[in-house]
Amino acid sequence: MNDSVEKYFPIGTIWDEKLKCNSWVLSPFNTHQKPQGFTVDQYENFLELTSDSTLKECFKNKCLVDFWCSLSEYNDIAQMAIKLLPFATTYLCEAGFYRNRLDAEPQMKLQCSNISPNIKQLCAAKQHHSSHF
């Protein structure tokens, strides 16, 4: 997988620098510098977060998304991390689409749209199967 990542983000390029700048998302407890773009308050919260041994244990036991989503106490930092997390897994998505020859266009239209679906209305419009009652 490392070779595939290097294919998309070669060492020594601007992408390599961006990956280093955002490494705090992948390993917050091993970051020893102020992450780029943090305000003073955010950095203080980040230092508080990284010094919490309970959260460190939680980080070891949860996946990245679950860990960052569980940090209501550090919401501003968590939201920044959550915005960056989808980009870490694009390789896996791409590999799955090529392997299964799936067409991503309909899903991309949905994800790139700024229209929010009315889930209740969509569910109400569906006919329920009588065997599910």
Domain ranges of the chain: 1-133
Maximum C-alpha span of the chain: 60
pLDDT tens-digit readout, 32-63: 888 888 899 999 999 999 999 999 999 999 88
- What is the Cα Rg of the chain in Å? 20
> Which segments of 27-118 does DSSP mark as H helices, in order?
40-50, 53-61, 64-69, 75-84, 90-100, 105-112
Compute the distance between CA of residue 41 and CA of residue 24 in angstroms, rounded to an integer: 16
Number of Cβ within 10 Å of residue 120's Cβ equals: 8
pLDDT tens digit sequence for 78-118 = 888 888 776 555 555 666 555 556 566 777 777 777 777 78
Q: Can you give the pTM of this predicted structure?
A: 0.53
Structure token digits, residue 93: 């998505």
